[in-house]
C-alpha cells in the first residue's frame, strides 16, 4: 500500500506545482481562476488543456528572437516616428483636439505615430476591396508586402497569386506572410508556385505536431497589404471568395465586412509591423530601404491616421487600452460592430460608464455565429448591457464580420481585432484609428444601413428567457477566457 501513498503524495505535489505555475504565469484573474478550476476538478484533462493552450508566451522564449529583432528595427525607425508624430499631434485638426491624449496613448504604448495628410477610402465588403487591391498590385513598381490570416486557394486567391508572380518576374520585390493555420489550404500548391516564381513567402509561426496546441493558440490575425511604401490596405476582409457577394446568388451567405485603403504616411507604421513580422518569420534581418517608407510625391490627403497593434510580444494590450480610452472620451454616441463580442470586465465597465453617463451606445452583432460557444458567451453579456441602456441589434441579412467603432461622428476604428480576449491578448492584431469627421460620418451611414437589416433585442423579452436557455450561456461565459 506504500506505493499508493507515494503516488498520492506525488500527485498532490504535482497539482500544487501546476497551480503555482498557473498563478505565476497568468495575468488575467478570470483566466487564472478558470485554469485553476480545470486543474483541480479535472486534473488530467485540465493540466493537458493548460499546458496546451494556457502558457503565456508573452514572456517566453518563442518570441525572444522577434522582440530582439523589433528592438533593432525600432532603433532605426522609432526616432523618425516619434518626431513626426509629436509634430502631427500639435497640429491636429482643431475640431479633433480633444483626442490628443488618445493619440499620445498609442505613441507611448506602441510607438505608433499619428500622421496627417493621408487619403483614406472605406471599402465595404469584398466587392469594393478586391478591385482596389488588384489595381494597386498591378501598378506596383518597387515592392509588394502582404500579410494575411486567411488566404484561400480559390478564384480571388489565384487571381492575386498570378499578379504576384507576374510582378516578381518584372523585378518587383514581393514578400508574403501567411498564417500557417488560417491559410493552411495554400501550403502544398499555391505557396510552392509563388516561391518558384521568385516570390518570398513564409508561414507565420509554423505549426509543428509537438507544439500543435500552443501554436494554434497564438496566430497572426492581421490583414495587411503595402504597395511601394505609400499605399496600404487593412481591415477585416481576408483573401477568400466568401467575402465577395454576388447579387444574383441568393443561396450563398451574405458576408458583410469593412476594410480601409490608406495612401500616405499612415502606411509607414503598417510597414513597420510587416518588417517586424517578416524578420520573425524569415529569420533574416530585412535591410531597411528608403522606398519602404515612401515620402516622395505630393501628399493630396487631409486625413489624420494612427495604427494600433498588439500581440503576445507587446508590453501592453494596446488595442484594448485604445478602445477603453476612446469610449471614455465619447460625449454623444458610440456605434460598435463586432462579430465575436466577449468584452471582459474592463471593456464592459467602460461601456457601462458611457451608457450611464447619457452617451447613446449601440452594439451590432450577428444573429447567427460560426461558433456556438463564442456566441453563447457573447449573449451572456447582453442583459447587463441592456439594463444600463445599451441598444443591441442582431444582423439578419447574413454574417457580419466587420470590426468597427464610431465615436461622436469624429473618430473611427476599423481593424482585425474582435472585442474578445483572444484578440486583445493572444493574436497578432492591427486596428486603424481615423481622426476625421468625413470618414466617421461615412462609417456611421454604413452602420445605420446595417441596422436596417437588423432586429433590436427587447430588454424585457430577453430578460424573460428561461433558465434552461440562459444556463449554457453562463457556462460559456465562465469558460470564455479559454475560448
71 is catalytic: no
| Confidence at residue 274, expressed as pLDDT on a 0 to 100 scale | 94
| Position 46 confidence tier, pLDDT thresholds 50, 70, 90 | low
Closest CA to 96 of 437, 392, 371: 437
Packing angle, helices 100-110 and 318-328, rounded to 10: 170
| Confidence at residue 461, expressed as pLDDT on a 0 to 100 scale | 95
Greatest alpha-carbon pair distance for the chain in Å reads 84
Query: 176 pairs with which residues across the strands?
Result: 146, 201
| Confidence at residue 68, expressed as pLDDT on a 0 to 100 scale | 47
| Confidence at residue 112, expressed as pLDDT on a 0 to 100 scale | 83
Which carries the bigger pLDDT value, residue 432 or residue 20? 432
With a cut of 70, say whether residue 482 has pLDDT above it: no
Catalytic residue of the set 223, 259, 268, 444: 223
Q: For the chain, which residues make up each domain, given as ranges? A: 2-49, 62-94+118-302, 318-482
- CA dist 258 and 134 (Å) reads 17
Which carries the bigger pLDDT value, residue 482 or residue 43? 43
| Confidence at residue 23, expressed as pLDDT on a 0 to 100 scale | 76
Each residue of 257-274: pLDDT tens digit?
Answer: 999 999 999 999 999 899
Catalytic residue of the set 221, 259, 261, 272: 221
In CATH terms, 318-482 corresponds, of 3.40.50.2030, 3.30.870.10, 1.10.10.10, 1.10.3720.10, to 3.30.870.10
- CA dist 252 and 240 (Å) reads 14
121 is catalytic: no
Each residue of 112-143: pLDDT tens digit?
Answer: 889 989 999 999 999 999 999 999 999 999 99
Each residue of 187-221: pLDDT tens digit?
Answer: 999 999 999 999 999 999 787 654 444 445 678 99
| Confidence at residue 480, expressed as pLDDT on a 0 to 100 scale | 72
Read off the pTM: 0.88
- Residue percentage of the chain with pLDDT more than 90: 58
- CA dist 343 and 311 (Å) reads 17
Catalytic residue of the set 161, 401, 444, 450: 401
| Position 61 confidence tier, pLDDT thresholds 50, 70, 90 | very low
Q: What is the mean pLDDT of the chain?
A: 87
| Confidence at residue 149, expressed as pLDDT on a 0 to 100 scale | 96
Among positive and negative, which fits the CA dihedral 373, 423, 231, 334?
positive
| Confidence at residue 92, expressed as pLDDT on a 0 to 100 scale | 81
| Position 159 confidence tier, pLDDT thresholds 50, 70, 90 | very high
| Confidence at residue 217, expressed as pLDDT on a 0 to 100 scale | 64
Which carries the bigger pLDDT value, residue 48 or residue 351? 351
Question: Which three cell numbers mark 448?
Answer: 445605420
Each residue of 366-401: pLDDT tens digit?
Answer: 998 878 888 999 999 999 999 999 999 999 999 999
| Position 161 confidence tier, pLDDT thresholds 50, 70, 90 | very high
* CB count in 10 Å sphere of residue 475: 14
| Confidence at residue 59, expressed as pLDDT on a 0 to 100 scale | 43
Lowest-confidence pick of 43-47, 87-91, 276-280: 43-47
228 is catalytic: yes
259 is catalytic: no
223 is catalytic: yes
261 is catalytic: no
Catalytic residue of the set 70, 179, 180, 228: 228
| Position 175 confidence tier, pLDDT thresholds 50, 70, 90 | very high
What superfamily would CATH give domain 62-94+118-302? Endonuclease Chain A (3.30.870.10)
Catalytic residue of the set 31, 143, 167, 403: 403
| Position 254 confidence tier, pLDDT thresholds 50, 70, 90 | very high
| Confidence at residue 235, expressed as pLDDT on a 0 to 100 scale | 98
- CA dist 26 and 24 (Å) reads 6
| Confidence at residue 308, expressed as pLDDT on a 0 to 100 scale | 94
Most confident of 18-22, 67-71, 438-442: 438-442
The answer to whether domain 62-94+118-302 and domain 318-482 are alike in fold is: yes
The CA-CA-CA angle for residues 18, 314, 414, to 5°, reads 120
Each residue of 403-449: pLDDT tens digit?
Answer: 999 999 999 999 999 999 888 888 999 999 999 999 999 999 999 99
| Confidence at residue 323, expressed as pLDDT on a 0 to 100 scale | 97
Each residue of 292-337: pLDDT tens digit?
Answer: 888 766 778 899 999 999 988 787 889 999 999 999 999 999 999 9
Amino acid at each position: 500500500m506504500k506505493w499508493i501513498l507515494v503516488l498520492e503524495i506525488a500527485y498532490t505535489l504535482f497539482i500544487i506545482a501546476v497551480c503555482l505555475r498557473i498563478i505565476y504565469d497568468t495575468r488575467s484573474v478570470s483566466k487564472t481562476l478558470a485554469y485553476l478550476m480545470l486543474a483541480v476538478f479535472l486534473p488530467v484533462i485540465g493540466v493537458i488543456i493548460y499546458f496546451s493552450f494556457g502558457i503565456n508566451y508573452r514572456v517566453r522564449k518563442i518570441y525572444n528572437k522577434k522582440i530582439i529583432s523589433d528592438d533593432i528595427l525600432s532603433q532605426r525607425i522609432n526616432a523618425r516616428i516619434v518626431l513626426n508624430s509629436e509634430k502631427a499631434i500639435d497640429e491636429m485638426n482643431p475640431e479633433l483636439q480633444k483626442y490628443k491624449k488618445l493619440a499620445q496613448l498609442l505613441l507611448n504604448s506602441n510607438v505608433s505615430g499619428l500622421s496627417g495628410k493621408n487619403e483614406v477610402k472605406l471599402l465595404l465588403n469584398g466587392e469594393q476591396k478586391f478591385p482596389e487591391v488588384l489595381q494597386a498590385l498591378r501598378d506596383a513598381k518597387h515592392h509588394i508586402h502582404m500579410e494575411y490570416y486567411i488566404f484561400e486557394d480559390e478564384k480571388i486567391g489565384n487571381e492575386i497569386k498570378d499578379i504576384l508572380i507576374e510582378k516578381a518576374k518584372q523585378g518587383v520585390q514581393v514578400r508574403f506572410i501567411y498564417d500557417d493555420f488560417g491559410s493552411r489550404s495554400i501550403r502544398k500548391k499555391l505557396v510552392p508556385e509563388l516561391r518558384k516564381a521568385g516570390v518570398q513567402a513564409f508561414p507565420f509561426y509554423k505549426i509543428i505536431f509537438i507544439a500543435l496546441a500552443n501554436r494554434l493558440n497564438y496566430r497572426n490575425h492581421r490583414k495587411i497589404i503595402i504597395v511601394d511604401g505609400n499605399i496600404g490596405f487593412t481591415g477585416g476582409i481576408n483573401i477568400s471568395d466568401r467575402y465577395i457577394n454576388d447579387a444574383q446568388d441568393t443561396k450563398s451567405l451574405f458576408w458583410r465586412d469593412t476594410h480601409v485603403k490608406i495612401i500616405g504616411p499612415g502606411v509607414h507604421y503598417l510597414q513597420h509591423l510587416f518588417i517586424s513580422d517578416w524578420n520573425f518569420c524569415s529569420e533574416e534581418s530585412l535591410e531597411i530601404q528608403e522606398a519602404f517608407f515612401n515620402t516622395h510625391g505630393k501628399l493630396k490627403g487631409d486625413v489624420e491616421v494612427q495604427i494600433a497593434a498588439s500581440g503576445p510580444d507587446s508590453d501592453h494590450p494596446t488595442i484594448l487600452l485604445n478602445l477603453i480610452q476612446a469610449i471614455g472620451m465619447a460625449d454623444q454616441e458610440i456605434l460598435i460592430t463586432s462579430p465575436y463580442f466577449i468584452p471582459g470586465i474592463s471593456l464592459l465597465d467602460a461601456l457601462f460608464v458611457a451608457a450611464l453617463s447619457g452617451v447613446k451606445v449601440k452594439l451590432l452583432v450577428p444573429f447567427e455565429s460560426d461558433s456556438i460557444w463564442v456566441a453563447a458567451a457573447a449573449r451572456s453579456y447582453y442583459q447587463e448591457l441592456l439594463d444600463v441602456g445599451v441598444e443591441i441589434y442582431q444582423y439578419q441579412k447574413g454574417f457580419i464580420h466587420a470590426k468597427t467603432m464610431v465615436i461622436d461622428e469624429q473618430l473611427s476604428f476599423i481593424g482585425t481585432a474582435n472585442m474578445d480576449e483572444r484578440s486583445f491578448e493572444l493574436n497578432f492584431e492591427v486596428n486603424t484609428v481615423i481622426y476625421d469627421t468625413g470618414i466617421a460620418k461615412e462609417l456611421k451611414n454604413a452602420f445605420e444601413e446595417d441596422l436596417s437589416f437588423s432586429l433590436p433585442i427587447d430588454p424585457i423579452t430577453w430578460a424573460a428567457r428561461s433558465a434552461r436557455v440562459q444556463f449554457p450561456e453562463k457556462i460559456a461565459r465562465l469558460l470564455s477566457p479559454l475560448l
